[in-house]
Amino acid sequence: MPELPEVEVTRRALEPHVEGRQVVAVQVREQRLRWPVPAALPALLTGQRIARLDRRGKYLLWHLAGGTLISHLGMSGAWRVYARERAPPPGRHDHVDLVVGDALLRLTDPRRFGALLWHPHVAGDVAQHPLLAHLGVEPFDPRFDAALLHSATRGRTAPIKQVLLAGDIVVGVGNIYASESLFRAGIHPTQPARRLGPARCERLAAAVRAVLDEAIRVGGSTLRDFTSGAGAEGYFTADAGVYDRAGLPCRVCGTPIRRLVQGQRATYYCPRCQRR
Ligand SMILES: [Zn+2]
């Protein structure tokens, strides 16, 4: 499932092909994504210039003159970029093509949990869209710091791992990155969030930023042959500290890594390095 780093890498890959460019044509071959792709999308977008491509959480926000195109990769989505003249014929999972300037951007999504929605300016600030309004702060926003993490977790009795995954304090800490961040911060994943003191909040905020930043860098190194984020398991599968390493020795202390299930998601941790 594409996580925030994959979406940010996608944004960086698309950005030079779309910013300041005009939408020349739109082809919708399949409207049935998580929500129906608007039938009027070609009429809404064609001829408009894309001013900016932003990301909020795992949503890409394509800012046009008349509104914002909101896209999400769901479980298995990916944008591919082709030179317009050299795009291959669409396959059965290639649901939407956007021809922007000289490029053809193709949305592929085998499982169709992704989304492509239009939010006109007249409907108000896109930040207040129901999909966006309740998201936590961005991990690289200066407002995400130890003080915010500490105050936001005071009432939370749930384990810190699940509070991170909920995404209402900080966005982007998906399952892999939650395990990795807690490992680096030395915090046990079952620790009730409200018991974290200021020093541990400081370490955790720093770990979240570092883990996501590294993932984006690793993903960014694949930009040269950017074709896909589809089915990506995250960029940490090769050199994760704990993720998917049950039974293997901790890279810090040698203790076997353990696996537990929280909220139906696998959590990996070192019982010695990570304390409650
Ligand atoms: Zn350890």
Percent of the chain with pLDDT over 90: 87
**What's the whole-number average pLDDT of the chain?**
92
Task: Look up 2 and say whether it is catalytic.
Answer: yes
Q: What is the amino acid identity at position 262?
A: Q
What is the pLDDT at residue 23? 98
Query: What pLDDT is attached to residue 228?
Result: 42
Instruction: Give the mean pLDDT of 251-266.
Output: 96
pLDDT tens track for 107-128: 999 999 999 999 999 999 999 9
The distance between the two most distant Cα atoms of the chain, rounded to a whole number of Å, is 60
Residue 220: what pLDDT? 63
Per-residue exposure over 127-142, b if at least 16 CB sit within 10 Å of its own CB, e if not: eebebbeebbbbbeee
Instruction: Find the catalytic residue in 49, 111, 194, 265.
Output: 265
Q: Please tell me the distance between residue 181's alpha carbon and the centre of ligand 1 in angstroms.
A: 14
Residue pair 193/160 in contact (Cβ under 8 Å)? The answer is yes
Ligand 1 centroid – CA 153 distance (Å): 26
- Express each pLDDT in 17-58 by its tens digit: 999 999 999 999 999 999 999 999 999 999 999 999 999 999
> Which SS3 state, helix, strand or coil, does residue 145 take?
coil
* Ligand 1 center–CA 186 separation, angstroms: 9
Q: What is the pLDDT of residues 188-219, one digit of tens each?
A: 999 999 999 999 999 999 999 999 999 898 87
Q: What is the dihedral of CA 148, 152, 153, 155, to 10 degrees?
A: 150
Per-residue pLDDT at 224 exceeds 50: no
pLDDT digits (tens, 9 = 90+) for 138-154: 999 999 999 999 999 99
**pLDDT of 231 above 60:** no
> How far apart, in whole angstroms, are the C-alpha atoms of residue 58 and residue 108?
16
What is the pTM for the complete model shown? Answer: 0.91
What is the rounded average pLDDT of the residues 91-116? 95
For the ranges 80-84, 127-131, 247-251, which has the lowest average pLDDT? 80-84
Active-site choice (5, 6, 11, 58) = 58
Residue 161 known to be catalytic: no
Is 106 within 8 Å of 25 (Cβ atoms)? no
